[in-house]
């Protein structure tokens, strides 16, 4: 509630409601962008930091 009052004070209620309607869309595109980043780059380099997947790919010596 306090954050809502602060946002209304600086940007206005109209823009706060517009941003709230865009949040699910931005989260969806952020997820798509993250998956695309893993796909385009070296996927093993990124997935080595995921604990569950790390053990599935032993290092090649």
Q: What is the pLDDT of residues 35-48, one digit of tens each?
A: 898 888 877 777 77
| Residue 27 belongs to some domain of the structure | yes
- How confident is the model over 3-49, as pLDDT tens digits? 777 777 787 778 878 888 999 999 999 999 988 988 888 777 777 77
Which comes out higher in pLDDT, residue 28 or 57? Answer: 28
Cβ proximity of 43 and 52 under 8 Å: no
Answer yes or no: is pLDDT of 58 > 80: no
Confirm whether pTM is higher than 0.85.
no
* Distance separating alpha carbons of residues 46 and 41, to the nearest angstrom: 8
Would you say residue 61 lies in a domain?
no
- If one counts the domains in the chain, the total is 1
pLDDT given for residue 28 in this prediction: 97
Is 18 part of any domain? yes
CB 16 within 8 A of CB 24: no
Q: Exposed e or buried b for every residue in 31-55, given b needs 16+ CB within 10 A?
A: eeeeeeeeeeeeeeeeeeeeeeeee
């Amino acid at each position: 509630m306090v954050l809502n009052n602060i946002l209304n004070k600086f940007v206005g209620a109209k823009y706060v409601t517009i941003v709230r309607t865009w949040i699910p869309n931005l989260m969806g595109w952020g997820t798509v962008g993250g998956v695309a980043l893993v796909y385009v780059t070296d996927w093993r380099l990124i997935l080595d930091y995921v604990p569950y997947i790390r053990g599935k790919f032993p290092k090649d010596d």
